[in-house]
Amino acid sequence: MSERGQVGLVLVSHSAQVAESVARLAQDLTPGGGHAPLAAAGGTPDGGVGTSAERVVAAAGEVDRGAGVVVLVDLGSAVLTVRSLLADEDELPPDTVIADAPFLEGAVSALVTASAGGDVDAVRAAAEEAYAYRKL
């Protein structure tokens, strides 16, 4: 493990309440006291439903500890906004990646892994492996 900080997580939802609630749930389900930096970027600045690139950029800056940032997204414009920001090298912190993962399950797995000191690849993989968890 390097001397850099933990991997940061950003949860991007169309809804501020969804992003914040999923963040809270992931924190509640992460064992131990301290957890990796986590920020919710939900809804639009005027309180509406949608995706705000400015909120995503601010949230990524907030959780960046130099170890990379993993972004989880819900639907449609959240996915497209983050992917278009990633296409522009200087918008998001270095080593920011999008996880192709279910939003809630992925957030929980990612936060547990990041809090345990996993690197950005491990955190993204943990989020993406959440697809394999079958419910039936």
Partner 1 sequence: MSDRNTEAKWDSNRARHWMAAAARAMTENEQRLTELDSAIGDADHGGNMRRGFQAVTSALDTAQDEGQLTGPGSVLTLAGRTLISKVGGASGPLYGTLLRRVGKTLGDEAEVDPAVLSEGLRAGVEGVVKLGGAAVGDKTMVDALQPAVDALESGFAAASQAALHGAEGTVPLRARKGRASYLGERSVGHQDPGATSAALLLGALAEVAGDE
Which residue ranges make up the site for partner 1 (CB under 8 A)?
A: 44, 48-54, 57, 76-77, 80-81, 83-85, 87-88
Give whole-number Cα distances, 63 to 7, 36, 93, 96, in Å: 8, 9, 10, 11
Closest approach, Cβ 9 to partner 1, in A, equals: 21
Minimum distance of partner 1 from residue 59's CB (angstroms): 14
Tokens of 98: 């999008």
**CA dist., res. 56 & res. 3, Å (int):** 26
Cα distance between residue 106 and residue 23, in whole Å: 11
| Residue closer to partner 1, measured from CB, 29 or 80 | 80
| Nearer of residues 6 and 13 to partner 1, judged by Cβ | 13
Q: Which residues pair with 51 in a beta bridge?
A: 43
**What's 73's DSSP letter?**
E
In the structure encoding, which two tokens stand for residue 71, read together?
Answer: 């972004």
Least spacing, CB of residue 74 vs partner 1, in Å: 12
Between residues 26 and 85, which has the closer beta carbon with respect to partner 1? 85
- Please identify, using beta-carbon distances, which residue of 3 and 90 lies nearer to partner 1: 90
CB of 11 to partner 1, least distance (A): 17
